[in-house]
Amino acid sequence: MEINSLRELYIDQLRDLYDAENQLIKALPKMAKGATSDELREGIEEHLEQTKNQAQRLEQIFERFGEKPKGEKCKGMEGVIKEGSETLEKDMDDATKDAAIIAAAQRVEHYEIAGYGTARTYATLLGESEAAELLEETLDEEKKTDQKLTQLAEQINVEAVEGSDGEEGREEEAPPSRARSASGSRKKRAA
Ligand code: FE
Ligand code: FE
């Protein structure tokens, strides 16, 4: 298919984003399931609901064109998700696994931020102000999710460092300075 204008490129990019969101709707529950920190799991579950809404916003934009947003495969997101899931198949302790989930999730969010920033700018340039607003809403959600992941990483990555000496029962031995750590609410795994 030829792309002869910025408008066509814009629509092509929206289709790509739509496919990316739908891939995530399938992938996020698996990531949430793999998380051992309650805060991380709940954060991913919350973002899953946002993601469903983000896909609907794209459908809303396409309604104006009288078209369906399907038809494009987002190979970039496919690769990002595949890389994340391959890492998670490896054997890791709980905190390290949570750190790996955060690493994968932040790649996802950054990829989306790039895509939505571009699409929002195209919408503005093309005079599609309603679409620009919808895309901006999604962009904000992706940015906030990324920030939230950074906050969680500040606790979880430290726990992964401390856990990597193979010491068991670090939660019980946690000094007061770590009383608010994410592992405080980490579910216990069967040995
Ligand atoms: Fe999204
Ligand atoms: Fe997202």
pLDDT band of residue 162 (cuts 50, 70, 90) is confident
For residues 54-70, give the mean pLDDT: 94
- Give the Å distance between the CA of 168 and the centre of ligand 1: 37
- Give the Å distance between the CA of 145 and the centre of ligand 2: 7
- Give the Å distance between the CA of 85 and the centre of ligand 2: 16
Residues 6+ apart with CB under 8 A from 68: 59, 62
- Give the Å distance between the CA of 72 and the centre of ligand 2: 18
Q: Which of 70, 86, 97 has its CA nearest to residue 12?
A: 70
Nearest ligand by distance to the CA of 55: 1
In the prediction, which pLDDT does 178 show? 43
Residue 184: count other Cβ atoms within 10 Å of its Cβ.
Answer: 15
Position 73 pLDDT exceeds 80: yes
pLDDT band of residue 21 (cuts 50, 70, 90) is very high
Residue with tokens 């216990």: 188
Position 143 pLDDT exceeds 80: yes
- Give the Å distance between the CA of 70 and the centre of ligand 1: 16
Position 1 pLDDT exceeds 90: no
For residues 131-151, give the mean pLDDT: 98
Nearest ligand by distance to the CA of 104: 2
Instruction: Report how far residue 154's alpha carbon sits from residue 26's, in angstroms, rounded to the nearest whole number.
Output: 27
Name the more confident of 173 and 134.
134
3 state DSSP class of 37: strand
> Are the beta carbons of 153 and 99 closer than 8 angstroms?
yes
- Give the Å distance between the CA of 48 and the centre of ligand 1: 8
- Give the Å distance between the CA of 18 and the centre of ligand 2: 12
Name the more confident of 146 and 167.
146
- Give the Å distance between the CA of 189 and the centre of ligand 1: 30
Q: Give tens-digit pLDDT for 81-108.
A: 999 999 999 999 999 999 999 999 999 9
Residues 6+ apart with CB under 8 A from 45: 28, 32
- Give the Å distance between the CA of 141 and the centre of ligand 1: 8
> Are the beta carbons of 77 and 111 closer than 8 angstroms?
yes
